[in-house]
Amino acid sequence: MSELSGSTTRAAPRRTLDIEVALQWAYRDELPKRRDDHPLRGIGYPSTHPMWRAGAFGGRIDCWNRDPGFPLAMGDPSPDALRIEAAVEALDDATLDILPYDVGKGLGEHVDLRHVISITRRDVRSWIVTYARNGKRPDLGGPAEFEPVRGANGKAEIWETVSIPAGEGPDGTPWFTTFDRRTTSVRAGTYPDGAFCKLQWVRTADDIAEDRARYALWHAGLTLLAEILTPVLQTVAVAPPAAVTRPWIEAEPAPPTIRPNLARRTVALDRRRPVARRAPGRRPEPVRMSPPSEWKPAGAA
């Protein structure tokens, strides 16, 4: 406010929100208030038969021409929510640098990080909106997982390596052909020496790299949005994301510990006196009834 202004009204202080919370507030609480309803019109005769339209979705869809949203009585969305939506739509995924996130740490040299990141980078804006609407964060999945190769009966297949003679070399050295073949147990729980079970990857290093890249791009996108929206918003102030930058390297912060109250008490517990209780009153005696025929005056024999 200018110093020459005669007004003494001060602007209300802006509340500070984490950028993650601000996005959830915009997409979950404010933007659904916006209704893009078309003017009412007659039903008419659509070009697609209702039978085929119902068959496309597996059932009858009757939403008329109204876009579902909040009631009109809740008013229009906050202007800051519209600014947040515009900033997300204008976010340039090419400017997000995830090199400091060290996505490929511990994944080996066989993971093509360049290819994984380039594919994941295409949907940054969609993932940001999706996680904001769901109120969640990207899931890192977990470590690599594998399981035994199973046969048609659902049981793990047991193999053994077999070598059979295949002639001799020019110098008389014997040649062998080595291959793997299925085998069975000698008896219950006992297999031939050298028997093994083949494994197949269920969750590979490429899957882990993809989940890490999605988290890194989501976190970098939120950090950039916080910088862009800080001078733009009027009713709220945004802070950088509070989520851990690299959860596959950094440990999650421990939850706060609730400690017992060890303050000195004014009364020792072992010296407390029981609360005085009021003794129950004497119960009234029943009324004695005297028939008039038995009444005698006082002093009469």
pLDDT digits (tens, 9 = 90+) for 21-64: 999 999 998 888 876 654 444 445 555 555 555 555 555 555 54
- At 39 the pLDDT is 47
- At 27 the pLDDT is 92
Q: Compute the 3-state secondary structure of the chain and give helix, strand, coil in percent, each to the nearest 5.
A: 30, 15, 55
Query: CA torsion angle for 148, 153, 158, 161 (degrees, to 10)?
Result: -110
- At 217 the pLDDT is 94
- At 261 the pLDDT is 75
Overall residue count recorded for the chain in this entry: 301
- At 105 the pLDDT is 87
- At 253 the pLDDT is 72
Contacts of 82 (CB under 8 A, 6+ apart): 31
pTM: 0.63
- At 13 the pLDDT is 67
- At 300 the pLDDT is 67
Q: Are 233 and 95 in contact (CB under 8 A)?
A: no
Return the number of other C-beta atoms located less than 10 Å from residue 247's C-beta: 15
Give the sign of the dihedral formed by CA 195, CA 201, CA 205, CA 208: negative
Mean pLDDT of the chain: 79
Name the helix (H) or strand (E) containing 117. helix 113-120
- At 69 the pLDDT is 55
Low-confidence ranges of the chain (pLDDT < 70): 1-13, 35-73, 264-276, 287-292, 295, 298-301
CA 3 from chain center: how many Å?
Answer: 48
Q: How far apart are CA 145 and CA 148, in angstroms?
A: 11
- At 186 the pLDDT is 78
- At 275 the pLDDT is 66
Contacts of 183 (CB under 8 A, 6+ apart): 158, 159, 160, 191, 192, 195
- At 64 the pLDDT is 45
- At 146 the pLDDT is 81
- At 265 the pLDDT is 64
- At 249 the pLDDT is 87
Q: How far is CA 172 from CA 17, 87, 135, 169, 178, in A?
A: 81, 77, 73, 5, 19
Q: How far apart are CA 80 and CA 15, in angstroms?
A: 12
Tell me: the pLDDT tens digits for 182-191?
888 877 778 8
